[in-house]
Structure 1
Amino acid sequence: MTGTFPAGAAQEYWEAFYQAEERRWKGTPNPLLVREIGALAPGTALDLGCAEGADAVWLARRGWRVTAADVSPTALRRAAAHAVAAGVADRVEWVCHDLSRSFPAGSFDLVSAQFLHSPVAARGEREAILGRAAAAVAPGGTLLIAGHAGWPSWVDEPPFPYHFPTTSEVLDSLRLEPGRWQLEVEEVVERELASPDGRPGRREDNVLRLRRVGQPPYGS
């Protein structure tokens, strides 16, 4: 969806989304995060759009110190409770940001942006956020971006117009400084995804993993 949205539209939308149900997600980390980051030595991590905290808690359990950002206070409260239950509350800082208007300070050994899609994002907002994500990666650090490549196969009429960017479009939008980044993974991954009424189907996701050239401040 494109257009102009008033200040606070993102928080209003995502608060309603999370308040509609006691729990929105399964509480397990995104498989692409697990696949791409599992072999890295832990350092500092920034989780953008952390939702109910599954990715941040998984990272913390593996020894990462995590800054986890989301626009929804309800999602952040659930995420903090998840961290307490997992015994990693001291390893995660939960911060509330509308990433189109404010962004966590600092640089990180890992910046993860998993499925940052929003029906109330104005044109160019996602690209701007991902640009800030790249700028937040420390020398030697990793930028991981995962996003949907399209609607699920069983969606005949999309609920709203939305352009799902290709990996090359995402890379172009990042405007990375030549010679300062190494592209490690660029892939389209297909997975099975049943419809809400149980019909079999599939969905394709894009994944990009890039490393900023430089000596990492942690082990490799």
Structure 2
Amino acid sequence: MTDEKAWDARYQESTRIWSGNPNVVLVAEVSDLPPGRALDLGCGEGADAVWLAARGWQVTAADISTVALARAAGHAADAGVTIDWQHHNLEKTFPEGEFDLVSAQFLHNWEEFDREQILRRAAAAVAPGGILLIEGHMDHGPFPHHEHEVRFPTPDEVIAALDLGGGWQVLRSDVHPREQTGPDGNRAVRTDSTVKLRRG
């Protein structure tokens, strides 16, 4: 099964996979930024993209799953916002242009994939003065492990793998706990990581 088919199957399991709320770190780190052009990588059902667009951002949102993108477009229509939804396998194709904000929220996969390459392309898409915001997991939390163990890099490892060179400012690089509801409906705590960088 290809990654695209696997993600389509995942989204077809339910009419809504995610909460429908924007990611809490995105809200905390972006609320004070002036709206500009934003790129949402791995947008899923579109909650982050819709939240950004409702606050005046011109949003391009990309995902590997056409099922997710169709669902996201419906949510955007319900919210009365316009978003450029794009279908990409980010290992192979990538949205064009420069952006004032590039957001990669929990860009993980249960199969092997080149996350580092994708994040380097994300950094290259940040306009001068713009922000790169990367949120990741540090553990599986309340969710069962998949057949292929996913290794979650630390914030320092994420930054090192970006191979940025000069001209970037680290605004945030840390790990932090977050409450999440598991598949059994119970609340649990997992650890996430945040990297926030500004391009000079």
User: Deviation of residue 12 (structure 1)?
Assistant: 1.1
Match of 1:118 among 106, 109, 121: 109
Amino acid across the alignment from 1:145: I
Tell me by how many angstroms 1:97 deviates. Answer: 0.1
| Secondary structure of 2:9's aligned partner | helix
Q: 1:216 — aligned with what?
A: none
> Per-residue deviation at 1:95?
0.3
- Does residue 174 in structure 1 map to residue 156 in structure 2? no
The alpha-carbon deviation at position 198 of structure 1 amounts to 4.1
Q: Does 1:48 align with 2:41?
A: yes
Q: Give the aligned partner of residue 64 of structure 1.
A: 57
Corresponding residue SS for 1:134: helix
Specify the alignment match of 2:194 in structure 1: 207
The 1:59–1:200 alpha-carbon spacing in structure 2 relative to 1, beyond 3 Å, is closer
Q: Give the distance between the partners of 1:95 and 1:200, measured in 2 at CA.
A: 33
Distance in 1 (CA, whole Å) between partners of 2:187 and 2:19 is 19
Cα deviation for residue 9 of structure 1 reads 1.6
Which structure: larger Rg?
1
Distance 1:196 1:24 in 2: 11
Q: Secondary structure at the match of 1:205?
A: strand
Cα pair 2:110 2:146 within 8 Å, conserved: no
More strand, by proportion: 2
Residue 101 of structure 1 and its aligned partner are, at CA, apart by: 0.5
Between the aligned partners of 1:63 and 1:87, the Cα distance in structure 2 is 12
CA distance in 1, matches of 2:199, 2:136: 20
The list of structure 1 runs, each at least 4 consecutive aligned residues, that deviate by more than 4 angstroms after superposition, is none
The 1-side partners of 2:15 and 2:181 are apart by 22
SS at match of 2:50: helix
Q: CA–CA distance in 2 between the matches of 1:198 and 1:20?
A: 16
**RCO higher in structure (CA 8 A, sep ≥6):** 1
TM-score, normalised via structure 2 length: 0.95
Structure 2 unaligned blocks of 5 or more: none
What SS is found at the alignment partner of 2:14? Answer: coil
TM-score (norm 1): 0.87
SS in 2 for 1:193: strand
1:37 aligns with 2:30: yes
The one of 187, 195, 213 aligned to 2:182: 195
**1:137 and 2:126 aligned:** yes
